[in-house]
Amino acid sequence: MPFKCPYCGLYFCTEHRLPENHQCEAIDKAQTSKNEQLPGFEGQKPVGYRDVYPFLRISTRRFAFSRKEIIHLAIAALLVIGVGFSFPNMKYSDYPVLVMLSVLFALSFLVHELAHKLLAQKYRLWAEFRLTLMGVILTAISMIPSFLKIIGPGAVVVNGPADKRTIGMTSIIGPTINIILASVLCVAAVFVRGWIFEVVAFYNVWIAIFNLIPIGVLDGYKVFKWNKIIWIIAFAASVVLGAIIYRFFWFP
């Protein structure tokens, strides 16, 4: 969704909505004190930079969750659990396996999003998980029994003054966590011959590969802009790991 800058009047994406991120021609107006009146706000209460962007106020509590965010996370977790229960060719006798599969699916999704959030908050940025309409629809469709699963009911929204390195770090942490989880599950699958570990491992790899695609609002685009070498290493690692799972576990 576009955002209109209240100072220059132009429209920008989320990444460039702040005056300092789009080289706003009226940056001097954005930095005026609260005691000064901005053009266009005559007759109204004086408006300062922090009034227009209240989410930039740094909280004294680090790693905090709002009530709204908890509700969104809970709904997202239930949607992902529902996808786990829709895995094809499962019998009712396999109910305990379905429960385990669904829980692992939800945990894989949640650790990815929470990694983004916690690291962003460590950098003193505003970060909260939010559901998206399209994401909820695609995840709900994935509850229909099939092997094609698109699980992404929402994402962590990050706002605040940050350079390319900070944005890149908060973006790469999610896929990195999934790559680590997939590796651990592959090791578990070697010692415990259970297909559930293989499926969840491949699911984590799929999360990493998809999010590392360098387009749009995906993590890969921000990482690619920050450090192309790190992006290549992360993307190659996820693709190679996915190929290993596909070749040696699914079709040995």
Show the tokens assigned to 189: 């699958």
Instruction: Judge whether residue 4 has pLDDT over 80.
Output: no
Q: pLDDT by residue (tens digit) across 195-209?
A: 788 888 888 998 999
Lowest mean pLDDT among 77-81, 86-90, 136-140, 240-244: 86-90
User: Which pLDDT score, from 0 to 100, does residue 50 have?
Assistant: 40
Specify the amino acid at residue 225. K
User: Which pLDDT score, from 0 to 100, does residue 147 have?
Assistant: 62
198 is catalytic: no
User: Which pLDDT score, from 0 to 100, does residue 118 have?
Assistant: 92
User: Which pLDDT score, from 0 to 100, does residue 35 have?
Assistant: 37
Helices (H), the chain: 27-30, 49-52, 67-85, 95-122, 133-141, 164-191, 195-211, 219-226, 228-245
Show the tokens assigned to 212: 């590392």
Given pLDDT bands bounded at 50, 70 and 90, which one contains residue 252?
very low
pTM given for the model: 0.70
**Domain boundaries in the chain?**
1-34, 63-160, 163-252
Average pLDDT, the chain: 78
Options 20, 69, 113, 198, the catalytic residue: 113
C-alpha span between 49 and 80 (Å, rounded): 39
Q: pLDDT by residue (tens digit) across 164-216?
A: 889 999 999 999 999 999 999 888 888 876 678 888 888 899 899 999 999 88
Look-up of token digits 């890969």:
220
